[in-house]
């Protein structure tokens, strides 16, 4: 049978879709519908799929779709032979009943196949399943695509009959389904498929666009409907126009992928125009002006070559009038009150000092079980003080100059911790919560506070997201650690742990922030001690969550390391030792990777695993890593003990110096004596003294080999 294949187009025309969700809606609609067609055999597995998504439409084109799927041969298991046939080999009533349910009769019994099925035999029926027709298959695919749309929030609306109510993301007004030039008779949301769609609200050459066939969709919409249907094509056109318009001014548009996606979802025919506002507004912190232009007006602020905001900006209009002066003037009038509000907030906020706002934190509830922001500030101060003390204790030699430096650091941390959350009470942060910390730094500088304190107030939220910068100075680093540890200990301590994909308090992000600061800044701080120091400031408000939180942090660390390219084996080997100083972890990983490349690595890792298993099976107290030279009877054990005695001092010295790679590489010399030991020495000797001594030798070897990582985890 000749299969009729043509390109397929499906479009659902709706009222304006949620702009922040449009890209995902378009990808989901196209992906689910195409996947269903492929699963039903109507389209090939490699059939090209083109998604379209504009403010008022979701569409997909699928190449080479069949009018009917090919028939499929099917082998259906009926029942065990013992049940299907009697002793004489005749069909039982059970078999005849099963065949009747499948539309067959006793005439097919002779053609049934007897095939092994586990320990017995069963009867199988060979049949041909007719391929699904396109109309039926597309209806199923369309229903699946709509059911699986990641809709933020559905709305109910009535159909034209005035009685029927349907639920969808927005009211739908049109459905197109074309197989080549032929309409496919499908229906959804009270709409029957046709070949007409609607173009741009104001600029379409004709109100109704009658599509010739599936292939002409994008071109007809562009030429007759003044609409760029493809989300990606429209986005690329906006980028091109933004770049050209900025270049004409000698400036550059702000880089914001989320804003670009949102604007792409708001326009069907983008037209970038250049506008400006009064330069006097530039006295307001540029973060405020940029945020109000982006968040409220969807404008693209223009920056100079130094990244400083200018008084010009770009807007993406949905119309292309011959004279754009009215559009430009209107948008300039609209942005002016927004900027004036920002200036007003900034001026008003500076009339009060941050210190004067501290009492107000006691009136802001942080959490019902953890008190107010004022309580929180005091806890952060206490934790910050403990962190400074830990840094002081880790500093060797501890000179008078170092003592003075730590006293100054502690003073800055205490001041910054007290003021860090006060900008939450300002008008500017009340209007733009995204500016918390940033505005606190501006207000601190305005008051003449030490710049280190101002920077710390801004940076204590860092890193805010994956890839964000770390705090820039010591004060900010300590404060960021204290703030994140306070959040983690407090919420873990009252049982508010993340579950599955739900993490309402962003505890995973806070944990990764602590991990990044400790590792990337290579701080001489131990994670268990940090967590322990963060518990006492809560008093009896929380149960001690140290064990659970430490396990959580190690889990987050493992995920982070794997995400950054480390293998699961390497991560497992390093974290099996639960290293207290996370700053050592990158060096340990590098050492393990270098060790694994050595020709001796596989044999030593296998031996290490064997040793671990031997020691694990020893009953009673743990084996002491101690060797009596007088009890070394066999040549192989004498040679291993001598090799270990020669290698271990060098490996230990290198480890203590932080030369983890060289420390592990020094152990490679043990391969030959280790292999010889296992080939020629019976560990579990009959003589208890010999057995204990040999176990002690293995324990010594195990301890020496596993200072950097648990090498047994590298064994295949």
**625-665: per-residue pLDDT in tens?**
788 778 888 888 788 888 888 888 888 888 888 888 888 88
Angle between helices 601-617 and 671-680 (to 10 degrees): 50
pLDDT band for position 610 (cuts 50, 70, 90): confident
pLDDT of residue 451 exceeding 70, the answer is yes
- Asked whether residue 578 is domain-assigned, the answer is no
Domain CATH number, residue 616: 1.10.730.10
pLDDT, position 469? 93
pLDDT, position 398? 67
Other C-beta atoms lying within 10 Å of the C-beta of residue 355: 14
Reported as a single tens digit per residue, the pLDDT across 422-440 is 999 999 999 999 999 999 9
pLDDT, position 694? 83
Instruction: Name the H helices within 632-670.
Output: 635-656, 660-666
Shared domain check, 139 and 122? no
Cα distance from N-terminal residue to C-terminal residue, the chain: 53
Domain final position from 201, 223, 245: 223
Q: In the predicted model, what is the mean pLDDT of residues 683-698?
A: 82
377 or 86, which is more confident: 377
Other C-beta atoms lying within 10 Å of the C-beta of residue 330: 12
Map residue 538 onto helix, strand or coil. Answer: helix
Map residue 155 onto helix, strand or coil. Answer: strand
Instruction: Tell me which residue range forms the domain holding 424.
Output: 360-428+460-565
Spatial separation of the C-alpha atoms in residues 577 and 420, rounded to whole Å: 36
712 or 358, which is more confident: 358
Reported as a single tens digit per residue, the pLDDT across 544-569 is 999 999 999 999 999 999 988 888 88
pLDDT, position 255? 92
- Asked whether residue 446 is domain-assigned, the answer is no
Q: In the predicted model, what is the mean pLDDT of residues 47-59?
A: 96
pLDDT, position 79? 85
Which position has the token pair 């065990």?
80
**Residues present in the chain in total:** 716
Domain final position from 83, 106, 129: 129
> Of 182-191, 365-374, 583-592, which gets the smallest average pLDDT?
583-592
Q: In the predicted model, what is the mean pLDDT of residues 74-82?
A: 83
Domain final position from 223, 239, 263: 223
Shared domain check, 377 and 252? no
pLDDT of residue 184 exceeding 70, the answer is yes
Residue 252 phi/psi, 5° resolution?
Answer: -135, 140
Shared domain check, 405 and 391? yes
Distances (CA, A) of 335 to 281, 317, 340, 666: 11, 15, 9, 68
Percentages (nearest 5) of helix, strand, coil residues in the chain:
55, 15, 30
Shared domain check, 656 and 604? yes
Q: What is the mean pLDDT of the chain?
A: 90
Shared domain check, 384 and 280? no
Shared domain check, 155 and 38? yes
CA atoms within 13 A of residue 505's CA, in its CB half-sphere: 20
- Residues paired with residue 53 on neighbouring β-strands, in sequence order: 58
Structural domain total, the chain:
5
Reported as a single tens digit per residue, the pLDDT across 383-405 is 999 999 999 988 876 676 777 88
- Asked whether residue 306 is domain-assigned, the answer is yes
- Asked whether residue 583 is domain-assigned, the answer is no
Q: In the predicted model, what is the mean pLDDT of residues 293-316?
A: 95
Shared domain check, 706 and 634? yes
- Asked whether residue 274 is domain-assigned, the answer is yes
Shared domain check, 539 and 649? no
Shared domain check, 203 and 283? no
pLDDT, position 681? 78
Shared domain check, 24 and 101? no
- Asked whether residue 55 is domain-assigned, the answer is yes
Domain CATH number, residue 45: 3.30.70
Instruction: Name the H helices within 40-147.
Output: 81-84, 93-101, 134-147
Which position has the token pair 């502690």?
410
625 or 355, which is more confident: 355
Entry pTM: 0.79
Q: In the predicted model, what is the mean pLDDT of residues 674-698?
A: 82
Q: Which of 331, 196, 213, 313 is nearest to 256 (CA)?
A: 313
33 or 688, which is more confident: 33
Other C-beta atoms lying within 10 Å of the C-beta of residue 97: 10
Q: How is residue 435 written in tokens?
A: 């500016």
Q: In the predicted model, what is the mean pLDDT of residues 252-265?
A: 95
Shared domain check, 38 and 181? yes
H-helix or E-strand spanning residue 123: strand 120-129
Shared domain check, 102 and 47? no
- Asked whether residue 591 is domain-assigned, the answer is no
Instruction: Please state, for a pLDDT cut of 70, what percent of the chain lies above it.
Output: 99
- Asked whether residue 448 is domain-assigned, the answer is no
pLDDT band for position 3 (cuts 50, 70, 90): low
């Amino acid at each position: 049978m000749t299969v009729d294949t043509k390109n397929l187009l499906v479009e659902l025309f709706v009222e304006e879709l949620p702009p922040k969700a449009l890209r995902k809606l378009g990808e989901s609609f196209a992906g689910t519908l195409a996947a269903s067609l492929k699963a039903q055999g109507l389209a090939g597995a490699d059939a090209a799929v083109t998604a379209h998504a504009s403010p008022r439409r979701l569409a997909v084109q699928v190449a080479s779709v069949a009018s009917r799927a090919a028939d499929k041969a099917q082998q259906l298991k009926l029942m065990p032979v013992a049940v299907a046939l009697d002793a004489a080999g005749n069909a039982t009533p059970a078999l005849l009943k099963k065949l009747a349910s499948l539309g067959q009769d006793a005439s097919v019994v002779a053609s049934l196949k007897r095939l092994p099925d586990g320990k017995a035999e069963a009867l199988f029926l060979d049949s041909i399943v007719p391929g699904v027709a396109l109309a039926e298959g597309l209806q199923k695919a369309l229903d699946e695509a709509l059911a699986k749309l990641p809709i933020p929030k559905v709305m109910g609306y009535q159909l034209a009959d005035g009685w029927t109510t349907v639920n969808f993301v927005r009211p739908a007004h049109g459905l197109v389904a074309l197989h080549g030039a032929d309409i496919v008779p499908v229906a959804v949301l009270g709409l029957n498929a046709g070949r007409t769609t609607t173009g741009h609200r104001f600029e379409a050459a004709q109100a109704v666009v009658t599509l010739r066939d599936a292939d002409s969709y994008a071109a007809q919409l562009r030429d007759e409907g003044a609409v760029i249907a493809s989300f990606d094509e429209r986005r690329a056109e906006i980028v091109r126009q933004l770049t050209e318009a900025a270049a004409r001014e000698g400036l550059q548009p702000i880089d914001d992928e989320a804003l670009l996606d949102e604007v792409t979802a708001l326009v069907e025919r983008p037209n970038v125009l250049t506008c400006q506002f009064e330069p006097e507004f530039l006295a307001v912190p540029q973060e405020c002006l940029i945020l109000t232009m982006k968040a409220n007006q969807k404008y693209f602020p223009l920056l100079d070559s130094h990244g400083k905001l200018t008084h010009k900006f770009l807007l993406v209009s949905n119309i292309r009038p011959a004279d754009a002066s009215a559009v430009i003037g209107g948008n300039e009038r609209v942005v002016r009150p927004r900027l004036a509000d920002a200036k007003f907030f900034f001026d008003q906020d500076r009339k009060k000092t941050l210190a004067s706002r501290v009492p107000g934190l006691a009136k802001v509830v942080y959490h019902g079980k953890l008190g107010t922001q004022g309580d929180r500030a005091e806890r952060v101060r206490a934790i910050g003080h403990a962190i400074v003390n830990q840094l002081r204790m880790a500093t060797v030699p501890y000179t008078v100059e170092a003592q003075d430096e730590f006293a100054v650091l502690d003073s800055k941390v205490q001041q910054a911790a007290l003021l860090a959350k006060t900008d939450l009470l300002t008008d500017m942060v009340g209007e733009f919560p995204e500016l918390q910390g940033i505005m606190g730094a501006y207000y601190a500088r305005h008051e003449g506070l030490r710049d280190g304190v101002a920077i710390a107030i801004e940076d204590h939220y860092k890193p805010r997201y994956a890839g964000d910068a770390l705090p820039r100075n010591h004060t900010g680093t300590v404060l960021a650690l204290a703030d994140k540890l306070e959040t983690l200990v407090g919420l873990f301590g009252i049982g508010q742990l993340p579950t599955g994909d739900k993490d309402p308090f962003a505890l995973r992000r806070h944990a990764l922030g602590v991990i990044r600061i400790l590792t990337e800044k290579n701080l001489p701080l131990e994670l268990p001690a940090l967590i322990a120091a963060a518990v006492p400031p809560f008093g009896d408000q929380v149960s001690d969550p140290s064990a659970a939180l430490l396990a959580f942090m190690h889990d987050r660390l493992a995920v982070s390391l794997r995400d950054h390219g480390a293998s699961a084996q390497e991560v497992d080997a390093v974290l099996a030792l639960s290293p207290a100083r996370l700053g050592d972890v990158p060096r340990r990983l590098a050492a393990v990777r270098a060790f694994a490349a050595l020709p001796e690595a596989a044999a030593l890792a296998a031996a290490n695993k064997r040793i671990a298993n031997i020691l694990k099976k020893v009953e009673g107290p743990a084996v002491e890593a101690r060797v009596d030279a007088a009890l070394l009877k066999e040549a192989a054990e004498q040679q291993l003990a001598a090799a270990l005695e020669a290698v271990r001092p060098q490996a230990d010295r290198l480890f203590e110096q932080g030369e983890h790679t060289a420390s592990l590489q020094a152990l490679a010399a043990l391969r030959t004596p280790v292999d010889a030991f296992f080939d020629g020495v019976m560990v579990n000797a009959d003589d208890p003294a010999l057995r204990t001594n040999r176990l002690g030798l293995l324990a010594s070897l195990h301890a020496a080999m596993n200072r950097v990582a648990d090498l047994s985890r590298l064994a295949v």
